Amino acid sequence: MNLKNISKSKLSLAFISIVITFFVWQQGLRDSLNRPSVSFDISQKEQEIAELSIQSIPINLKKFFIKNDPVDQINKLLSEVSFDELTERNKLIRIISSESNDPMIYKAISKDFENKKFKLVIDELGRKLNNNSYKPNSEKFDLFKGDRFLYHLLSQKFDFDDGSLITKSFSSKMFLKILAIRLIPLLTILLGSILALKMLWSTISLKKFGWQEIKSLDLELIDMVLLISGGFVVLGEVVSPLFSISLVELFSKNISNELSQSLKIFFGYLFMAIPPLGIVYYQIKSLNGEFTFKKDYLQFNFLPIKYAIIQGIKGWLTIVPFVLLISLIMNSLIDNQNGSNPLLEIVLNNNSYLSFFLLFITTTILAPLFEEIIFRGILLPTLSRDFGVILGIIVSAFIFALAHLSLGEMPPLFVLGIGLGITRVASGSLFSSIIMHSLWNGLTFLNLFLLRT
């Protein structure tokens, strides 16, 4: 990079952008440590579904799907967390599923609940504790029919029939869910491992990797700094949310909190993408004197479309085992990892279909398209041109992982970024890495959707 040919204003903007990016990303990574891990909620939800599916699981398959009593497993999970840190629902589940007989517990805990429905249950538990033969009218608990697992727990505690709600048909649906939750990842890992071994054998046999030609734009590294630090971080992550959040709050006064959250995420992502994509547009136009959509500046290489899609699917399947392996290693080394993407928790606990649709569009279309244009469409080719393909893939993957501002998720995201980079280079198609990214996000979204009870 020849600094003499770069204007002082460009250098100043780049320097200011880097400084702001350092403080924003440093604060974002530190904040991620205070966010709870969604893996706890996922484990609990899976056990809830297992409990609700028990009556429909064939006897010869029960040992494969139900190794330990799901309610005991949930109680064990909840007991590993400080009671004060639990949600009100989880506090109630822990109390119902525990064997404690201290009446003072209910008197002390009743003060911890703001939800009137939960306070009602605490009062009923107190009465039952003082008189073991006490049996309340089951209609008192009709308020909980919207939460089938909690209603099921109450039916066991107070000995009333929940068959009108936990029907054979509903239980069968829960069994199909637990079947999909357990089998889809296993099949994906199996197919991915076979493809990874095949690719490794092919590489060893040929003694080279089949890189396709990467055409980079005639941009300098300082242009990358302005794009990532200036466009993606300063304008996209710092300035844009001020407009998107204000816009949603202006028009979402009379809608549910779930829909409001989803709209903030959807429009937040749209507004965040505008500045860096605007910079890409300006950079291409300044290089070519014009910008026309007919020209494939970033090597999308849609055609032949069948080839591009197949390469994306192969890339996705191949990287799944490696990302999951890194996640397992991280979980074994670090207990109670924090820093999960807050979007995962929102999807997991969302009950609005319109909200789901907005989140689905955001995670499987907007995010892959925008992030691949920036990281594999612009950054990777430029770095590969200046430092070589391997270093280009590694550095772009590291910046990709860092940009998600989650310290706990950085290692698996880094591996995913390497997989996306390899797919981009091996296929010669940015569209293939977009398909791969979309499938990865889509599988995560599907898993969270299935975990809803």
Q: Both 251 and 340 in a single domain?
A: yes
Q: What's the predicted TM-score (pTM) here?
A: 0.88
Number of domains within the chain: 2
Q: How many CA atoms lie within 13 A of 391 on its CB side?
A: 7
As a whole number, mean pLDDT of residues 355-367 equals 90
Write out pLDDT tens, residues 93-118: 888 887 665 555 666 666 667 878 88
* Same domain, yes or no: 291 and 152: no
pLDDT tens track for 65-84? 788 889 899 888 888 888 88
> Would you put residue 159 in left (φ > 0), alpha (ψ -120 to 50) or beta?
left
Show the CA angle centred on residue 336, arms to residues 330 and 339, nearest 5°: 80
Give pLDDT tens digits for 128-159. Answer: 877 777 788 888 888 888 889 999 999 988 88
- Say if residue 135 is in the same domain as residue 250: no
- Give the pLDDT of residue 453: 59
Tokens 């205070």: give the residue: 34
Residues 227 and 171 grouped into a single domain: no
For 8-27, what is each residue's pLDDT tens digit? 888 889 899 999 999 999 99
Whether residues 72 and 154 fall in one domain: yes
Domain of residue 87 covers 38-176
pLDDT at 59 (0 to 100): 83
Q: What is the pLDDT of residue 369?
A: 95
Instruction: Choose one of 153, 176, 199: the last residue of a domain.
Output: 176
Contact 224, 379 (CB under 8 A): yes
Same domain, 387 and 446: yes
Of 176, 197, 218, the residue at which a domain comes to its end is 176
How many CA within 13 A on the CB side of residue 103?
Answer: 9
| pLDDT tens profile 330-353 | 777 766 555 566 677 777 777 778
Average pLDDT, rounded, for the chain: 85
Q: With a cut of 80, say whether residue 203 has pLDDT above it.
A: no
Of 176, 203, 224, the domain-final residue: 176
pLDDT at 441 over 60: yes
Residue 1: predicted pLDDT: 53
| Token pair in block for residue 252 | 């979402």
